[in-house]
Amino acid sequence: MQMSTSLEKSRPALIQELVFALLILAMGMGLKYHYSRASSGALDWILGPTAKLVEVISGHTFERETGAGYVRADKTIIIAPACAGVNFMITAFFITAFTGFHRRKGIRPQIQWLGTSLAAAYILTIVVNAVRIQVTVGLYEAHIHYGPLTPERLHRLAGCVIYLSALAVFYWGVEKITRPAVKSPSTGFGRTMAAGKYPALISLLPLVCYGLITIIIPVLNGAFQKNGRLLAEHCATLFLVSGVVFLLVFLIRSMTLRLARPRQTPKP
């Protein structure tokens, strides 16, 4: 009798979590759809702040050019729609929203968490993307390339390292911040995440999300037929960097958990 009552009480919570999960997916996919069809003017909401922050970091002035994006005063660098970092923002939104929404009890706190997740992903994207642009521009201007490691490939490699490292660290931080709010997750959806038993998840989730958004979805949309070689190179670079980032964060996380465990004093 008690088991039946418990199941009945958990069913509405499960339905609510499923609705919110679908809402998160719909928001992310809607942003992806907008990005895939948007002009530089339609992406000014993210290109503009990014260009302003790059100006602060680099000391160079960028001017808005219709149809192109933001162009540096010497006309050598363009912050175009391809540099907007929207895929990074979607990934950051997903990992933040999915990590914390099931840890908030009630519809209003969960809706507030979705808004917080979107705002955090937006701010993080502008900061990380501005750093990525400045680093890759610095590498390009320093003429650092050798043999098959062309400036374009170095640009792609540096971008993957910065993006994936930032996502892994960001997810780690979000998971640490939201975990203390959990006393007893209402359903099974959040129990694995709340328990913190699997340190591999700390780096695996952002890498999987980013790969899904930047590779799987474009492949399903026919991008491989249009430019298969470039997509294959990007895929190989992403897998290589993902493996390194995953291993490093996993090892650091495992060592942190081991050091945090209370030591048992041997009984005399």
- Taken in order 259, 262, 267, 268, the sign of the CA dihedral is positive
Q: pLDDT band for position 211 (50/70/90)?
A: confident
104-125 confidence digits (pLDDT tens): 777 888 888 899 999 999 999 9
Q: Give the pLDDT confidence score for residue 70 in this predicted structure.
A: 94
Closest listed residue to residue 53, CA positions, set 165, 134, 153, 155: 134
Backbone angles phi, psi at 196, to 5 degrees: 65, 30
Q: pLDDT band for position 3 (50/70/90)?
A: very low
Q: What does the alpha-carbon distance between residue 44 and residue 70 come to, in Å, rounded to a whole number?
A: 9
34-70 confidence digits (pLDDT tens): 998 899 899 999 999 999 999 999 999 999 998 889 9
Q: How many CB atoms lie within 10 A of CB 124?
A: 19
Q: pLDDT band for position 193 (50/70/90)?
A: very low
Q: What does the alpha-carbon distance between residue 191 and residue 236 come to, in Å, rounded to a whole number?
A: 34
Q: Give the pLDDT confidence score for residue 181 in this predicted structure.
A: 47
The pTM score is 0.80
